[in-house]
């Protein structure tokens, strides 16, 4: 495995005297480049923005010279095209970076650590060297005192962060060169830990797979369900006036009853048309009306209207509505594609278990036939296509240190997040057939065809690089803990939507 770490020539890395503070800090952590984007702020300069959030009641602000602005500009300089979404992602990342930095500074302050002047001097001297790499008093004296003070301040702050990082996590660069065997500081990962993680790549199993897609729920089953629940799919011919409040609805109804306005004119003058255009009521199937009204009493009131009769105001979700019956209710026509579409949608969204139960029964029939007649024979009998996986190991959650599950079988998409599938499949023995497994929109049956242990030919290389991965996991955990602390209040989304979004009118 080739290392990504490259050696740099000390002379070629020398900088001219006109060096920016940002290029000094790159020796410690990362570059700092000031790129202000005032056009991203709607109608105001960055100084007018409210805080992006708070850490221990200290505001995190987007203003020149702030840590947040520095972090934001570091992210922005990596973006070739800046859209609302990429800008907001940069804001969120910068906010998180700022919180982490402020937390580290607090932790170091509590420890009593003080950055030695000699540590700052060792870094600064590199920027006052001649072409031969020797310290040049002339270059130093030609630099203004204010620049040197700023350089020392920036380096002081960055060395605090670097010290904390090194104490907890060691020298990150050395992880990529030496694993974690030669780092003096930071948490360590024992060799046995790397061996244990490597062993999680075993056993690798291969399976024959068949799937029943729940999108293939047959029409005759839809019709059977509809006939069993006919009242739910009765449709009503209604017009509706929808307003915001009960008092407004009563006012409209009074005008209609006093013949001051017709129902149709009231639709034009008052209705917000939430449930249909021009007064038409589109949610006119019984199951839709019951969901909208929230009570059987309200449904029975509207469903019981005589032709031409107008209802009292009825609460409809967060609004109030007045209904008029235009014609008699219609029983469901099970030859009508639109009606069947409504029934299918209702089943899939409200009673999905009906579809699952149907295909689970089919899958159990298949599994029984496969156990008696063989997997291939059962596939022929039921008109199913068999797929075969490459050998793979359990990798719940797609851990990057473990091998990936198969990606060439669409029905197995997402198995890395299915505890049920992994437990069921990996409990099988060779030639054993599983019980049906629900996975996304499919019901799966698998047969184990092989099982093998991972060879150890790569374990030495794995051990070499394991330390760097373990270190990154530790740093991610630290970062997550800091960002999710009760000391942090994140207002980035609110500030962005109200003040910074380019297309926000």
- Segments making up each domain of the chain, as ranges: 21-187+485-500, 204-215+353-452, 235-330
User: Is the separation of the CB atoms in 307 and 264 below 8 Å?
Assistant: no
Residue-wise pLDDT for 220-268, tens only, equals 999 999 999 999 999 999 999 999 999 999 999 999 999 999 999 999 9
Which residue has 């972090």 as its token pair? Answer: 71
Coil vs helix vs strand at 218: coil
Phi/psi region, residue 414 (left: phi>0; alpha: psi -120 to 50; beta: rest), is left
Distance CA 362, CA 436 (A): 9
Q: Is the CB of residue 483 less than 8 Å from the CB of residue 233?
A: no
The pLDDT of residue 107: 94
Count of beta carbons in the 10 Å neighbourhood of residue 356: 15
Neighbours of 332 (CB within 10 A): 22
**Which DSSP symbol is given to 280?**
B
pLDDT number for residue 274: 67
Q: Is 73 in contact with 82 (CB distance < 8 Å)? A: no
Buried b (16+ CB within 10 A) or exposed e, 77-101: eeeeeeeeeebbebbbebbbbbbbb
pLDDT at 31: 32
**Using an 8 Å Cβ cutoff, are 234 and 280 in contact?**
no
- Four-way CATH pick for 204-215+353-452: 3.10.50, 1.10.10, 2.60.40, 1.10.3470: 3.10.50
pLDDT of residue 503: 52
Quick: pLDDT tens for 33-59.
Answer: 333 343 444 444 445 789 999 999 999
Task: Please check the confidence at residue 10 and state whether its pLDDT lies above 90.
Answer: no
Q: What mean pLDDT is predicted for residues 379-387?
A: 97
Q: Is the peptide bond before 203 cis (omega within 30 degrees of 0)?
A: yes
CA-nearest of 55, 197, 188 to 474 is: 188
Judge if 204-215+353-452 and 235-330 fold alike in CATH terms. yes
User: Contact at 8 Å (CB) between 55 and 103?
Assistant: yes
- Residue 65 confidence (pLDDT): 87
Strand (E) positions, 47-181?
A: 53-55, 58-60
CB 235 within 8 A of CB 285: yes
The answer on pLDDT for 11 being more than 50 is no
Tell whether domain 235-330 is in CATH 3.10.50.40: yes
Digit-coded pLDDT (tens) for 172-213: 555 444 444 556 677 778 889 999 999 999 999 999 999 999
Find the Cα–Cα–Cα–Cα dihedral 53, 56, 58, 62, rounded to 10°.
-30
CB contact at 8 A, 429 and 448: yes
* Neighbour count for residue 405 (Cβ, 10 Å): 22
Residue 82 CA to residue 59 CA, distance in Å, equals: 26
Picking from 184, 144, 161, the residue whose alpha carbon sits closest to that of residue 25 is 161
Angstrom CA distances, 125 to 122, 148, 167, stand at: 6, 11, 25
The whole-number pLDDT of residue 266 equals 93
Taking the C-alpha atoms of residue 459 and residue 467, their distance in angstroms, rounded to an integer, is: 13
CB 386, CB 209: distance < 8 Å: yes
CB atoms within 10 A of CB 407: 10
Look up residue 74 and give its two tokens: 């570091």
In this prediction, residue 500 has a pLDDT band, given cuts at 50, 70 and 90, of confident
pLDDT score for 172: 56
């Amino acid at each position: 495995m080739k290392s990504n770490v490259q050696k740099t020539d000390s002379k070629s890395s020398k900088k001219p005297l006109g060096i920016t503070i940002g290029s000094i800090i790159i020796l410690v952590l990362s570059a700092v480049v000031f790129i202000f984007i005032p056009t991203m702020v709607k109608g105001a300069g960055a100084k007018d923005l409210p805080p992006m959030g708070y850490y221990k009641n200290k505001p995190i602000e987007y203003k020149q010279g702030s840590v947040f602005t520095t972090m934001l500009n570091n992210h922005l300089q990596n973006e070739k095209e800046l859209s609302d979404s990429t800008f907001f992602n940069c804001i969120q990342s910068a906010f998180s970076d700022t919180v982490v930095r402020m937390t580290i500074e607090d932790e170091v302050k509590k420890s009593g650590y003080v950055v030695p002047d000699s540590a700052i001097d060792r870094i600064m001297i590199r920027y006052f060297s001649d072409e031969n790499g020797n310290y040049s008093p002339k270059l130093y004296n030609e630099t203004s005192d204010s620049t040197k003070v700023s350089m020392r301040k920036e380096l002081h702050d960055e060395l605090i962060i670097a010290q904390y990082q090194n104490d907890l996590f060691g020298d990150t660069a050395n992880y990529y060169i030496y694993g974690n065997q030669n780092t003096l500081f930071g948490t360590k990962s024992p060799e046995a830990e790397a061996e244990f993680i490597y062993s999680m790549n075993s056993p690798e199993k291969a399976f024959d797979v068949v799937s029943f897609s729940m999108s293939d729920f047959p029409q005759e089953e839809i019709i059977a369900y509809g006939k069993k629940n006919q009242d739910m799919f009765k449709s009503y011919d209604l017009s509706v006036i929808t307003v915001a409040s009960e008092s407004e609805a009563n006012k409209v109804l009074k005008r209609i009853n006093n013949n001051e306005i017709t129902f149709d004119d009231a639709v034009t003058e008052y209705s917000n048309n939430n449930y249909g255009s021009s007064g038409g009521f589109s949610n006119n199937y019984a199951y839709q009306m019951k969901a909208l009204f929230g009570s059987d009493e309200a449904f029975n009131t509207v469903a019981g209207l005589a032709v031409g009769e107008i209802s009292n105001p009825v609460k409809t979700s967060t609004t109030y509505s007045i209904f008029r019956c235009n014609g008699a209710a219609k029983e469901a026509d099970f030859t009508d594609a639109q009606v069947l579409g409504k029934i299918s949608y209702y089943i899939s969204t409200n009673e999905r278990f009906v579809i699952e139960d149907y295909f689970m029964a089919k899958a159990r029939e298949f599994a029984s036939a496969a156990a008696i007649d063989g997997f291939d024979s059962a596939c022929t009998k039921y008109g199913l296509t068999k797929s075969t996986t490459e050998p793979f190991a359990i990798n719940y959650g797609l851990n990057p240190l473990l091998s990936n599950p198969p990606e060439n079988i669409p029905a197995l998409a997402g198995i890395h997040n299915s505890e049920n599938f992994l437990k069921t499949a990996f409990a099988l023995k060779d030639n054993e057939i599983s019980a049906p497994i629900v996975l996304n929109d499919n019901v799966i049956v698998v047969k184990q065809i092989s099982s093998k242990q991972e060879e150890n030919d790569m374990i030495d290389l794995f051990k070499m690089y394991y330390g760097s991965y373990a270190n990154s996991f530790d740093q991610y955990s630290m970062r997550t803990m800091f960002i999710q602390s009760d000391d942090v209040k994140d207002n980035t989304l609110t500030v962005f939507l109200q003040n910074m979004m380019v297309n926000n009118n």
